[in-house]
């Protein structure tokens, strides 16, 4: 349950202090980013990232970055078993601090396995961010997949049978059927190339849940990189290709129109005008003759 999870998190972090051989500054110089963990975090929208950057430049970094102290073998990096420090929360703050050479604090946290870290990160994101409906569904689905993997199927640690979807449904206040659909949705998104997946989760590209879920059930040997490629893999389960393309274009046009209106309604700074011009060019390309 959420209360138990947050209590466990506090217990893991509250008593951890850098050792004499691993001072905080030394650890900062050794922080690693693993793509497999970074990609678990839904991307910020462009305006959200800009706002975060402005806040940090004005007020500094208020919350410490979470760093997993482990070994390279446990983290799946290599078999050398050397001590490593892996960033598990605060990727955007870390990027901004590196760019502007700003100071920040860290909290060390320890886990036994990479799977435990994934489960922690997914649940932590669900508990602290204002997520879109799709992002929430994606994270719940990832946790469903992750929990089944950690338990070796629908079984608890003590070996007793359990339906993971029912347990997670009670935790998040939704039905077990919703959790299973979330799992299919997350599995479909995981088959997309990182850039396309991030565009979907950030709202830059509009794709229906059925289309993404269909990808999860399709046989793919490599990540789906474009919308056209995704459509080709899902035509038997969704609308005709022509209708799908039309719907996707309409969705992208709507997003761009709303973005331009929002930018134009605010203060027209040099940076804002640049963004308006960029988004206008994107809109012209979508509306222009094909």
pLDDT digits (tens, 9 = 90+) for 51-102: 999 999 999 999 999 999 999 999 999 999 999 999 999 999 999 999 999 9
What Cα–Cα distance (Å) separates residue 128 from each residue in 6, 125, 240?
11, 5, 39
- Tell whether the model's pLDDT for residue 220 goes beyond 50: yes
Q: Mean pLDDT across the stretch 247-273?
A: 74
Q: Mean pLDDT across the stretch 222-226?
A: 86
Give the percent of the chain with pLDDT over 90. Answer: 43
Of the two residues 266 and 22, the one the predictor is more confident about is 266
What beta strand segments (E) does 135-272 contain?
Answer: none
What pLDDT was estimated at residue 151?
A: 65
Of the two residues 160 and 194, the one the predictor is more confident about is 194
- Tell whether the model's pLDDT for residue 176 goes beyond 90: yes
- Tell whether the model's pLDDT for residue 144 goes beyond 80: yes
What pLDDT was estimated at residue 102?
A: 95
Of the two residues 100 and 214, the one the predictor is more confident about is 100
What pLDDT was estimated at residue 238?
A: 47
Of the two residues 257 and 278, the one the predictor is more confident about is 278
What pLDDT was estimated at residue 265?
A: 81
- The winner for highest mean pLDDT among 128-142, 157-171, 248-262 is 128-142
- Tell whether the model's pLDDT for residue 259 goes beyond 70: yes
- Mean pLDDT in the chain? 81
Report the C-alpha gap between 77 and 122 in whole angstroms: 21
Q: Where are the domains of the chain?
A: 1-115, 239-290
What pLDDT was estimated at residue 87?
A: 97
The CATH code that applies to domain 1-115 is 3.90.1530
Q: At what angle do helices 46-59 and 91-100 cross, to 10 degrees?
A: 60
What pLDDT was estimated at residue 7?
A: 57
- Dihedral of CA 157/160/163/166: which sign? negative
Radius of gyration of the chain (CA): 21
Report the C-alpha gap between 68 and 151 in whole angstroms: 22
Report the C-alpha gap between 272 and 264 in whole angstroms: 8
């Amino acid at each position: 349950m959420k209360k138990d999870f947050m209590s466990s998190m506090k217990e893991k972090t509250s008593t951890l202090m850098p050792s004499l051989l691993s001072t905080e500054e030394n650890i900062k110089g050794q922080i690693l980013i693993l793509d497999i963990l970074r990609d678990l975090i839904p991307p910020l929208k462009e305006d959200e990232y800009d706002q975060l950057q402005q806040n940090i430049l004005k007020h500094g970094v208020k919350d410490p970055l979470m760093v997993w102290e482990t070994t390279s073998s446990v983290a799946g990096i290599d078999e050398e078993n050397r001590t490593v420090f892996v960033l598990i929360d605060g990727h955007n703050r870390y990027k901004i601090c590196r760019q502007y050479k700003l100071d920040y604090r860290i909290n060390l946290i320890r886990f036994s396995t990479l799977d435990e870290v994934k489960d922690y990160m997914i649940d932590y994101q669900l508990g602290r961010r204002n997520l879109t409906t799709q992002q929430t569904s994606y994270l719940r689905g990832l946790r469903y997949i992750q929990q089944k993997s950690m338990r070796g199927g629908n079984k608890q640690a003590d070996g007793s049978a359990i339906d993971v979807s029912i347990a997670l449904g009670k935790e998040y206040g939704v039905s077990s059927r919703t959790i299973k659909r979330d799992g299919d949705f997350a599995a479909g998104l995981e088959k997309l190339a990182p850039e396309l997946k991030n565009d979907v989760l950030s709202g830059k590209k509009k794709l229906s849940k059925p289309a993404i879920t269909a990808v999860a059930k399709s046989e793919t040997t490599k990540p789906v990189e474009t919308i056209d490629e995704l459509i080709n893999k899902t035509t038997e389960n969704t609308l005709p290709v022509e209708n799908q393309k039309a719907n996707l274009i309409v969705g992208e046009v709507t997003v761009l129109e709303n973005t331009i209106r929002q930018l134009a309604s605010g203060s027209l700074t040099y940076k804002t005008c640049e963004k308006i011009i960029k988004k206008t060019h994107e809109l012209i390309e979508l509306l222009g003759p094909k």
